Amino acid sequence: MQNSVAPNSSADTDEQLKTLEANLLSASTPEQKTDAILRLAKHLKPTDVGKALSLSMQAIGIAEAINYQNGYANALSQAASCHFKLGQYAPSLEKAYQAFNLFSKLGDVFQKCVTVQTISSIQLYFGEHEKAISLLLDTLDVFEKSSDHNAYATALLNLGNGYFYMKDYPKALEFFMKVLTIRERTMDMAGIATVSCNIGAVYQAEEDYEAALAWTEKSLQLSRQAGDIFTQIASLVNLGEYHTHLDNNEKAIRFLLESIRVANMSGDTRYLWASHQTLAVVYKKIGDYEKALTSYERFMEAKEKNFGGQVEQKVKAVEIAFEVERAKRDIEISEAKEKIKTLEEIVTMCAWSGKIRFDGRWVKTEEYLQNRFGVKVSHGISEEAAELFKAELKRKNR
């Protein structure tokens, strides 16, 4: 399957960077500066995630100092995404939940759904696939109705990832192909590279290595052109794994060593463990047991760093804290509703006529009961009223 794309040139990217830097220099208020920093961070994230994180943290400090709530929430969300790309899952989840809560208070449904993408990505990474899919499906309608094609494609991509991890490969491929259509329509080269890598992974899982190699080689080529470091690393790791299965050991080693070099150079070490793990397998296959042992030891170190007990415990602690806060908020909302209900049940009665204020006018009690509760009223006379009536008659007859 071949697809044509009009790539973004490096000149276009350089021009965008100059414009964003100029906008930052010309920002005259702290609010404008916060927004300009975040736009620059978003632009740099695919190629220099460390710089993007530094800028996001700067924006957090400025927005918090001036109580710029919207800027603060956006900065938290951006920083959470950067932490995730650097494999820093606990701070990523903590900031994502902070942003989620703040967007909820601000009533910004769209940005709240954007933040969910980071939360669900971490859930997928730690094996909570069904939980992540449920969360993502809740956001899909918001993105589909919006004009933000990038956000919609990202949500579809994450859903595809969820179904891939659940081993529902036809469903995963269905979502990935939808993403590809959007990315090609918007001529997003980095986006096409990412989804092509994922499509290759689906074909590899179905043991169609010819298709897997074609899609992943395309991903590597486009990600290099776009300067997308993470997709380069993922493509290199996947190509190493595919060639290992095909017994192309020299090619496998070359791709895997390149993935390690790029990961260490960029600081994006999320898949470093996979590179060393596959290298250990290849070296063992060709009988180089010393290198196999070294690669295996590095695999264990990298895996412990990314998936170790302490990291998972921190992530779980953040999730628990969020669930507790959400439970508190739900209780507060429930209590508020009960209070409103109680207030609604309080009626105003005229102290002189006994009439009740209802629907903007004073009505008799029986009319109020009929209209408010559907109660039919019949009339009688109480013993007390009867005695008073008799006394009044006697007085008049004297």
Q: Give the pLDDT confidence score for residue 138 in this predicted structure.
A: 87
Q: Give the pLDDT confidence score for residue 237 in this predicted structure.
A: 94
Confidence of residue 348 (pLDDT cuts 50, 70, 90): confident
Distances (CA, A) of 132 to 78, 128, 158: 20, 6, 9
Confidence of residue 331 (pLDDT cuts 50, 70, 90): very low
Distance CA 156, CA 146 (A): 14
CB distance 68 to 34 below 8 Å: yes
Q: For 192-215, what is each residue's pLDDT tens digit?
A: 999 999 999 999 999 999 999 999
What would the mean pLDDT of 313-320 be, rounded to a whole number?
51
CB atoms within 10 A of CB 127: 12
Burial class (CB in 10 A: 0-12, 13-18, 19+), 60: buried
Q: Give the pLDDT confidence score for residue 362 in this predicted structure.
A: 84
Dihedral sign for Cα atoms in the order 137, 139, 142, 146: negative
Using CA atoms in the order 288, 294, 297, 303, what is the torsion angle rounded to 10 degrees?
Answer: -90
Q: Could you write out the DSSP letters of every residue in 173-214?
A: HHHHHHHHHHHHHTT-HHHHHHHHHHHHHHHHHTT-HHHHHH
What would the mean pLDDT of 350-368 be, rounded to a whole number?
76
What are 56's two structure tokens? 């996001």
In this predicted structure, the answer to whether residue 336 has a pLDDT above a threshold of 60 is: no
What are 230's two structure tokens? 């993470």
Q: For 87-127, what is each residue's pLDDT tens digit?
A: 888 889 889 999 999 999 999 999 999 999 999 988 888 88
Confidence of residue 86 (pLDDT cuts 50, 70, 90): confident
Mean model confidence pLDDT for the chain: 82
Q: For 161-189, what is each residue's pLDDT tens digit?
A: 999 999 999 999 999 999 999 999 999 99
In this predicted structure, the answer to whether residue 302 has a pLDDT above a threshold of 70 is: yes
Q: Which domains does the chain have, with CATH numbers?
A: 13-107 (1.25.40.10), 340-397 (no CATH)
Least confident segment among 174-188, 220-234, 318-332? 318-332
